[in-house]
Amino acid sequence: MSAATVSAPATTPVREGRIGLRANLRHIGALARRNLLQIKADPESMFDALLMPVIFILLFTYVFGGSIAGKGHEKEYVNYLVPGLMAMMGLNIAMAVGTGINDDFKKGVMDRFRTMPIARSSVLIAKIVVEIGRMLVATSILLGMGFALGLSVSTSVFHLLAAVALGLTFGASLMWIFILLGLTMKTAQAVQGVAMLVMMPLQFGSSIFAPTTKMPGWLESFTSYNPLSNLADASRNLINGGPVAHSVWVTLAWSAGITIVTAPLAVAKFRKKT
């Protein structure tokens, strides 16, 4: 009797392999609801999504706008800056996924999931679904502030929505990287530290805040390969007008490549830890 009790948990991974698509989607929905209820119980966890867009657009518009676009031309800089910040939102919001996963392990939440007959990937996908929602909130606030400061769409609403969708797609792919970091690092502070080391060069070594033509040759070469530059340029041309095919396809290729490489690694690491 005791032997049967001890061996029972070992059958959980076997049952996981027989979980159908409908059940998997139901599990993702239930876990996403659980994450939303966590946000409702802790509204402060939304401060980054609500306040970060406001702080960034005001800070960069009025601190750097005059220097880059010329004094009195801050409104013109808004049209350059906002699409770039749309690219940056995904990177900043994605970091929260890694720290959240790491924190869940510290709190013992994953111990409960270990005993449940659910697909391990559903736990991670539910996290990503909720974070995409937070990213959409942050992007909406950013655009609202942009319009208040003089942002204009020279193309169409469809192109604007396409820019938002492109940013969400790339941001979702980045979440797999931070999930992998959250599963690998021992503490949430370590996740944040490594994330900042990655984020800072990518953010400032890109075309998000300023044109790259006046950068040193080696840095300009780096920005041309920086996926954030491609995403910023794609969003900028979708909103302001200009060629979009190359930058859009490069961004989609980066998104697919990052997901294909890191998602299986993250799921495998999660299964190993649970």
Query: Would residue 106 count as lying in a domain?
Result: yes
Amino acid letter for position 272: K
Which pLDDT score is estimated for 239? 94
Which pLDDT score is estimated for 262? 94
Neighbours of 101 (CB within 10 A): 27
Please give the Cα distance from 243 to 93 (Å, whole number).
Answer: 28
Do residues 120 and 267 touch, judged by C-beta distance below 8 A? yes
- pLDDT one-digit tens code per residue, 14-37: 344 556 677 778 888 888 888 888
Whether the predicted pLDDT of 57 surpasses 70: yes
Query: Would residue 5 count as lying in a domain?
Result: no
For range 142-167, the mean pLDDT? 93
Could you tell me the pTM of the whole model? 0.84
Query: Would residue 4 count as lying in a domain?
Result: no
Which pLDDT score is estimated for 62? 84
Which pLDDT score is estimated for 1? 43
- pLDDT one-digit tens code per residue, 68-127: 766 666 778 899 999 999 988 888 888 888 888 888 777 777 767 766 767 777 888 888
- pLDDT one-digit tens code per residue, 179-188: 999 888 888 8
Query: Would residue 1 count as lying in a domain?
Result: no
Share of the chain above pLDDT 90, in %: 37
Cβ-based neighbours of 256, under 8 Å, separated by 6 or more: 173
- pLDDT one-digit tens code per residue, 225-259: 899 999 999 999 999 988 999 999 999 999 999 99
Query: Would residue 251 count as lying in a domain?
Result: yes
Residues spanned by the domain of 260: 12-273
Amino acid letter for position 179: I
Please give the Cα distance from 193 to 34 (Å, whole number).
Answer: 28
Query: Would residue 45 count as lying in a domain?
Result: yes
Query: Would residue 3 count as lying in a domain?
Result: no
Total domains present in the chain: 1
More confident residue, 76 or 223: 223
Whether the predicted pLDDT of 198 surpasses 90: no
**Helices within 2-46 (DSSP H only):** 2-7, 12-17, 21-41
Please give the Cα distance from 75 to 69 (Å, whole number).
Answer: 9
Which pLDDT score is estimated for 25? 81
Which pLDDT score is estimated for 106? 77
Query: Would residue 93 count as lying in a domain?
Result: yes
Q: Which long-range contacts (CB under 8 A, 24 or more apart) does 56-59 make?
A: 56/85, 56/88, 56/142, 57/81, 57/82, 57/85, 57/142, 57/145, 57/146, 57/149, 58/145
Which pLDDT score is estimated for 5? 41
Question: How far lies 172's CA from each of 7, 12, 168, 177, 256, in Å?
Answer: 38, 29, 6, 10, 10
In degrees to the nearest 10, what's the CA dihedral of 22, 24, 30, 33? Answer: -100
Which pLDDT score is estimated for 4? 42
Mean residue pLDDT across the chain = 84
Which pLDDT score is estimated for 82? 93
Cβ-based neighbours of 199, under 8 Å, separated by 6 or more: 91, 92, 95
